[in-house]
């Protein structure tokens, strides 16, 4: 069972951040992994790491099509990588618009590995509408994971 972070155990700092989550920062991430991605000013949001060097004709992950990053997104990543001087990961959010973003490792946590981490991320948004949006995206991410693992009756037009 996962330990629930608490102030009494010293797991949560005075800023409210959990030190238990820092353990996930050591997990190696690779393309096609699902993550909680954190952009400044927004709660953590479900996303998938995408290989920026993937073939331009796309690829299938266990029969599931993975969207190809647009050229302008790839160019932005080249610029940001040299500006910031550390590795950036290209992520595709499970939002309605299917937004792309380049983020450093410290802004990514594995999704679906720890129920406690997932539940904390689902409750992170301050407004109910934001929490609902995050929850909808989480459901999309879990559905994607289910299809990739089982590949049952999948209709790509419903997903992309």
Q: Write the DSSP assignment of 47-115 as a string of letters.
A: EEEE-TTS-TT-EEETTEEEPPPPHHHHHHHHHHHHHH-S-EEEEEE-STT--EEEEEGGGEEESSS-H
pLDDT at 72: 92
Distance CA 98, CA 102 (A): 14
For residue range 1-23, what is the model confidence (pLDDT) as tens digits?
333 444 444 444 444 444 344 44
* pLDDT band of 50, cuts 50, 70, 90: very high
Q: What is the maximum alpha-carbon separation in the chain?
A: 53
Closest CA to 20 of 33, 6, 8: 6
pLDDT at residue 101 greater than cutoff 90:
yes
For residue 84, the model assigns a pLDDT of 66
- Give tens-digit pLDDT for 119-148: 999 999 999 999 999 999 999 999 999 888
Say how far apart CA 80 and CA 132 lie, in whole Å.
31
pTM for this predicted structure: 0.75
CA distance 120 to 124: 6
pLDDT value at residue 111 = 96
Beta-carbon contacts of 53 under 8 Å, excluding residues fewer than 6 positions away, are none
68 pLDDT band, cuts 50/70/90, is: very high
What percentage of the chain carries pLDDT values higher than 90? 56
pLDDT for residue 78: 80
Residue 46 has pLDDT above 50, yes or no: yes
């Amino acid at each position: 069972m996962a330990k629930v972070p608490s102030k009494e155990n010293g797991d949560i700092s005075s800023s409210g951040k959990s030190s238990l989550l820092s353990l996930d920062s050591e997990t190696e991430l690779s393309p096609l992994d699902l993550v909680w991605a954190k952009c400044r000013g927004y709660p953590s949001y479900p996303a998938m790491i995408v290989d920026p060097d993937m073939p331009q004709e796309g690829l299938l992950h266990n029969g599931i099509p993975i969207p190809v990053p647009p050229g302008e997104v790839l160019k932005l990543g080249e610029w940001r990588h040299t500006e910031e001087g550390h590795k950036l990961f290209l992520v595709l959010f499970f939002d309605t618009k299917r937004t792309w973003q380049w983020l450093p490792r410290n802004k990514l946590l594995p999704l679906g590995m720890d129920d406690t981490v997932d539940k904390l991320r689902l409750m992170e948004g301050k407004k109910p509408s934001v929490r609902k949006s995050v929850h909808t995206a989480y459901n999309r991410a879990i559905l994607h994971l289910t299809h990739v693992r089982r590949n049952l009756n999948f209709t790509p037009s419903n997903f992309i």
